[in-house]
Structure 1
Amino acid sequence: MDNFNEFDSQATSPNREAGAIISHALEIFKNTFLYCFLAVVIYFLLGFIIQMITGFNSQILVEQIKDSGGNINYQDIIAAPGFAAYSGANFFVTLLLAPIFVSLIYVANKSNFKQSITVSDIFFAYKQNFINIVIYALIAQIVLTISFLMCILPIFFVMPFFLLGYPILIFEKASAFDALKKSFNIAQENYGTILFTAVLAGLVSIAGIVLCCVGVYLTMPFAYIAMYSTYCAYFGAPKQLE
């Protein structure tokens, strides 16, 4: 914690209510939109490159699902040309890119403190607790994937336990397991509010998919801004990192 600057009274923290947290996050998201957009563009460009290398064509798979009326089975998806190679490569690339999205939490804090933001800030997490961020991302990805495969619904009840982990990793330099434990404890004590916050943040984040998938470029990073606002609500606005 010795890398913190003096507290800036301009920073704001929302009340511990889902509506207040989401409103706080939306205001910051509006002010950091270009950096959020850039992070998503980097992610999708690398995903496109992986598709080219592995030979997997997601558009063909989407068309097959549409033609089948949504009745395509899991075995058919796995059997799609290049799918296995793409899934494996994408899994590891997603882990390595996790710090870019986690860096948006740092960007959100700079915005909250009315400090200037630079493009290099979206790579901040690569030099701030990188290993623990990747470990935490791996744990979260495994748990959330399992929850998703269990008819999707359980993922909504699991999300709250991971909501505060990334801000804790960034601002407190905690280990992955300490961050998970602290996030779990706060979520357990305030489950209703954090569940509602996570659901609202998730709905905003996936809203772009409803808009013919194009809008996902605009909304996907919102979940990370919401994580920051939730952290502010329960711990106060953290002093800015150098």
Structure 2
Amino acid sequence: MKHNEENNIQQLINGGYKAQFGAAFSDASEIFKGIAGFSILAFIIYFVASTILSSFIGLIIPGNPMNVEDIMEILQSGDENLMNELILEANENPNYLPSFINYFVQSALYPILYSVFVMARKYDTHLNVDFSDIFVHYRDGKFLSLFLLTISVNIIAAIGMVLCLIPGILVYIFLMLSIPLVIFADANVKEAIKYSYKIVSKDFGTFAVALLAIVGILIVGFLLCCVGIVAAMPFTYIIIYALYKQIIGFPGESSEIDEIGTDIYKDNPYMK
């Protein structure tokens, strides 16, 4: 993990802080206006790739040993005995392999969505966002960490949901900063989970409000004929980015202002 970010995080954990969700939301709105096109394209590419691969997995590894046509005939016949036999056979011969493979495939595609974080940062630093940014995490050495973190968070949250709904929700709140910690602070999976939990616990209320807002945005996206989700999903990632920027920031980066006054002759053999 980057030394400057880790020191900054330790100070936040020791001294506490108070985030402003309203300011983060406004910031996210401005950033989204600047990267809407590429961020929406990232979601579309993710969705199309996910759909195609899921269909392919279903074709090569059928989830049910029975022929699809036979199943349809039984359902259309209305014969209760045959339908009961169908249910019993499905229970006796479950095939979860396609679901497991599909889950790992989905997790491997999530870095396409996470590219929105990089786009937001580039826009913030006045750099041009381009098409190649959508696949940035497949070449920047962070794919494995993001892949494993996605699986870990979803498994922990799923366990929480099964035990009781509230623990599952808490997992998503406490680990909200885990992805940007990997992307911007070079945290590994263990560090991302640990530090996200510790940071969020210092201002739990703000992140609870953030999750409610994110859920609300996604619901509105679905209600808009499901088309709105194309914009709603990337916007939620930008909200998380804005919170990360406000709370942790990027202490390891030097701005143009910081570089003003730097001795350009130092360590430059051509300008001595």
Structure 1 residues 138 and 233, CA, compared in 2 at 3 Å: closer, same or farther?
A: same
Deviation at 1:145, TM superposition (A): 2.6
**1:90 pairs with 2:102:** yes
Match of 1:234 among 240, 243, 247: 247
| Distance in 2 (alpha carbons) for counterparts of 1:83 and 1:218 | 35
Match of 1:174 among 178, 187, 196: 187
| Distance in 2 (alpha carbons) for counterparts of 1:135 and 1:29 | 27
1:151-230 equivalence runs, <5 A: 152-230=165-243
Structure 1 counterpart of 2:24, one-letter code: I
Structure 1 residues 83 and 114, CA, compared in 2 at 3 Å: closer, same or farther?
A: farther
- What is the TM-score with the length of structure 1 in the denominator? 0.75
Contact 2:145 2:188 in 1 (8 A): yes
Deviation at 1:141, TM superposition (A): 1.3
Match of 2:111 among 77, 94, 99: 99
| Distance in 1 (alpha carbons) for counterparts of 2:210 and 2:105 | 28
Structure 1 residues 210 and 152, CA, compared in 2 at 3 Å: closer, same or farther?
A: farther
| Distance in 1 (alpha carbons) for counterparts of 2:22 and 2:95 | 40
Structure 1 residues 92 and 117, CA, compared in 2 at 3 Å: closer, same or farther?
A: same
- What is the TM-score with the length of structure 2 in the denominator? 0.68
Contact 1:133 1:169 in 2 (8 A): yes
**1:47 pairs with 2:32:** no
**Residue deviations 1:34-54 (CA, integer Å, cap 9, x gap):** 111111111211222134321
| Distance in 2 (alpha carbons) for counterparts of 1:208 and 1:160 | 21
Secondary structure of 1:93's aligned partner: helix
| Distance in 1 (alpha carbons) for counterparts of 2:129 and 2:202 | 34
Secondary structure of 1:221's aligned partner: helix
Structure 1 residues 211 and 151, CA, compared in 2 at 3 Å: closer, same or farther?
A: farther
**Residue deviations 1:62-90 (CA, integer Å, cap 9, x gap):** xxxxxxxxxxxxxx8xx6xx995653333
Structure 1 residues 83 and 107, CA, compared in 2 at 3 Å: closer, same or farther?
A: farther
What residue number does 2:127 align with?
A: 115
| Distance in 2 (alpha carbons) for counterparts of 1:224 and 1:52 | 27
**Residue deviations 1:173-192 (CA, integer Å, cap 9, x gap):** 11110011110000111111
**Residue deviations 1:150-173 (CA, integer Å, cap 9, x gap):** 565544332221111111101111
Contact 1:19 1:197 in 2 (8 A): no
Structure 2 counterpart of 1:124, one-letter code: V
State the Cα RMSD in Å.
2.9
User: Runs of 5+ in structure 1 lacking a partner?
Assistant: 3-14, 57-75
- Identical positions, percent: 31
Larger Rg: 2
User: Runs of 5+ in structure 2 lacking a partner?
Assistant: 4-17, 63-86, 255-272
Structure 1 residues 34 and 84, CA, compared in 2 at 3 Å: closer, same or farther?
A: farther
| Distance in 2 (alpha carbons) for counterparts of 1:182 and 1:30 | 30
Structure 1 residues 131 and 50, CA, compared in 2 at 3 Å: closer, same or farther?
A: closer
Structure 2 counterpart of 1:41, one-letter code: I
Contact 1:128 1:170 in 2 (8 A): no
Contact 1:208 1:217 in 2 (8 A): yes
1:115-154 equivalence runs, <5 A: 115-126=127-138, 127-149=140-162, 152-154=165-167
